Amino acid sequence: MKRREFIAALGGAVSLSFQARSQQGKLPTIGFLGASTASNWTNWTAAFVNRLRELGWTDGRNVAIEYRWAEGRTENFTAIANEFVRLKVDVILTVGNAANVAQQVTKTIPIVAAIATDPVGTGMVASLARPGGNLTGLSIQSADTAGKRIETFREFLPSLRRLAIIGNADYAAGHIAEAQAAARKLGLDVDVLPIRRPEDIAPAFATLNNAVQAVYVCPDPLVNANHARINTLALGARLPTVHPFRDYLESGGFMSYGANNIDLFRRAADYVDKILRGAKPADLPVEQPTKFDLIINLTTAKALGFAVPPALLARADEVIE
């Protein structure tokens, strides 16, 4: 069979498969495990859904998306993953630690991680080139950018001597350690503010040393769901915040540097598309971010009475005013 005829036959087989499932009353189903809240993921979810639509998938017409939100509480991951198993979804879309938990729950349902932190090191995949199991997606070495993030922030505040690092002690320990090492390499004193629940955030800020000049925020679902609270407390203490994601700036954060998550969620939709059309996650190489953004919130800088160096503003991919 010629290549063109083979591709046409394959496409017809896939189409017939979708038709058969529709006749049985069940659309191909995506289990969307949101580690944070719907409101905090608005931009990321929209990027994923819009890209799916470009690829020919419309929720309610030829695909069903089951949304579940863990509200930043990691203890909810297992229950949601188990629910997706009972629903017999065709693929699970999620991020980070939630992807790890989902893979512990099921070894058969394909899992796409829009953001996976060190999937090789955590054992989720055998290698980036050959995942080998039921998980694939985008690998983001968020901790690897810690040094670049702190170095860039120091350009804004050359007098920086003491930095507070806040993060989930259970799920962001690696990132906390990486940020500590990067800060100390630059000769900075470091105070770590470990949190495990939303209720820990305010007490953590209450312990801040008076000499602290800025707050470095480590990402995870708990922080994602509560970044507005962290920014509010930091603003109250007259401290600029350094974040990994642009989304964290909308509630008063000062600076972010990291992978463009909207781009990652769009690319995750491509993985889901391929899996719904018959590809196996074991055969889909894990990719890495290609877009990194430096964002400055000039409104927050002005509120804190800081002047941002023109050179830093010129390098920023976006300035929020």
Closest by CA position to 204, among listed 180, 169, 171: 169
**pTM, whole model, 2 decimals?**
0.83
Closest by CA position to 288, among listed 316, 274, 273, 268: 268
Closest by CA position to 140, among listed 249, 264, 42, 237: 264
132: containing domain: 3-141+260-291
Judge if 238 and 207 occupy the same domain.
Answer: yes
Residue 3 has pLDDT above 70, yes or no: no
**Residue 46: both structure tokens together:** 């929209």
**Residue 35: both structure tokens together:** 């580690």
Domain with 97 in it: what CATH number? 3.40.50.2300
Closest by CA position to 251, among listed 271, 277, 233: 233
Judge if 137 and 250 occupy the same domain.
Answer: no
Closest by CA position to 29, among listed 78, 86, 77, 75: 86
- Cα separation, 262 vs 293, whole angstroms: 11
Number of domains in the chain: 2
Judge if 222 and 267 occupy the same domain.
Answer: no
Please provide residue 18's backbone torsions phi and psi, each rounded to the nearest 5 degrees.
-65, -40
Q: How confident is the model at residue 12 (pLDDT cuts 50, 70, 90)?
A: very low
| CA distances for 66 relative to 41, 51, 90, 95, 102, angstroms | 15, 17, 11, 16, 15
- Cα separation, 243 vs 251, whole angstroms: 12
The H or E element that residue 227 is part of is helix 221-236
Residue 13 has pLDDT above 80, yes or no: no
Mean pLDDT across the stretch 5-16? 40
pLDDT of residue 223: 92
Q: How confident is the model at residue 247 (pLDDT cuts 50, 70, 90)?
A: confident
| CA distances for 320 relative to 21, 247, 295, angstroms | 47, 11, 8
- Cα separation, 132 vs 272, whole angstroms: 17
**Residue 314: both structure tokens together:** 């010129």
Judge if 150 and 216 occupy the same domain.
Answer: yes
pLDDT in tens, 41-77: 999 999 999 999 999 999 999 999 999 999 988 889 9
Q: How confident is the model at residue 97 (pLDDT cuts 50, 70, 90)?
A: confident
Judge if 118 and 233 occupy the same domain.
Answer: no
CB-based contact 254:301 (threshold 8 Å): yes
Judge if 219 and 264 occupy the same domain.
Answer: no
Judge if 174 and 303 occupy the same domain.
Answer: yes
Residue 145 has pLDDT above 50, yes or no: yes
Give every strand in the sheet of 255-259, ordered side by side: 189-195, 162-168, 214-217, 241-243, 255-259, 292-297, 318-320
Judge if 39 and 186 occupy the same domain.
Answer: no
**Residue 149: both structure tokens together:** 């993030």
The C-alpha angle 296, 202, 70, rounded to 5 degrees, equals 80
CB-based contact 245:256 (threshold 8 Å): yes
Judge if 82 and 201 occupy the same domain.
Answer: no
pLDDT in tens, 213-230: 999 999 888 998 899 999
Judge if 300 and 157 occupy the same domain.
Answer: yes
Length of the chain, in residues: 321
Judge if 302 and 282 occupy the same domain.
Answer: no
From the number of C-beta atoms within 10 Å of its C-beta (0-12, 13-18, 19+), residue 206 rates as: exposed
Judge if 126 and 202 occupy the same domain.
Answer: no
